[in-house]
């Protein structure tokens, strides 16, 4: 499911091509999210996600943050720079939590 959403967002970014996100930052976000998906999907131990909260944390927040980095203009209440910084913060924070849980907890 994550791969499908990731692919959809990347295709939408290239198809619309009207984002104000600098291309280097967009490509960096794509690489980082691809790395996150590899770690989440293929590197054991795997979480037993039966809780909606865990599913939202490890699947929803990173994809929402990725969308915020690629399409910051959709958030009309905040400046685009703030939206991109919050998007990066969400992706990095969830990645750090995932790595800590994979190394220590699971």
Whole-angstrom distance, CA of residue 71 vs CA of residue 79? 12
Flag whether 13 is in a domain.
no
Number of domains making up the chain? 1
CB atoms within 10 A of CB 25: 16
Flag whether 12 is in a domain.
no
Flag whether 15 is in a domain.
no
Considering the entire predicted model, what is its pTM? 0.85
Q: What pLDDT digit, counting tens, does each position of 83-102 carry?
A: 999 999 999 999 999 999 88
Half-sphere exposure of 76 (CA within 13 A, CB side): 0
Domain extent for 45? 2-6+20-105
Half-sphere exposure of 33 (CA within 13 A, CB side): 31
Q: What pLDDT digit, counting tens, does each position of 37-94 carry?
A: 999 888 888 766 677 777 778 888 999 999 999 988 888 898 988 999 999 999 999 9
DSSP character for 21?
S
Flag whether 72 is in a domain.
yes
CB-based burial label for 24 (10 Å; 0-12, 13-18, 19+): exposed
Flag whether 80 is in a domain.
yes
């Amino acid at each position: 499911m994550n791969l499908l959403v990731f692919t959809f967002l990347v295709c939408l970014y290239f198809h619309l091509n009207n984002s104000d996100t600098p291309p280097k930052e967009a490509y960096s976000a794509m690489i980082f999210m691809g790395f996150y998906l590899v770690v989440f999907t293929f590197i054991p131990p795997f979480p037993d996600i039966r809780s909606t909260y865990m599913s939202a944390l490890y699947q929803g927040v990173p994809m929402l943050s990725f969308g915020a980095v690629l399409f910051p203009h959709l958030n009309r209440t905040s400046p685009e720079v703030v939206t991109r910084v919050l998007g990066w913060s969400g992706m990095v924070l969830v990645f750090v939590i995932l790595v800590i849980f994979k190394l220590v907890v699971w």
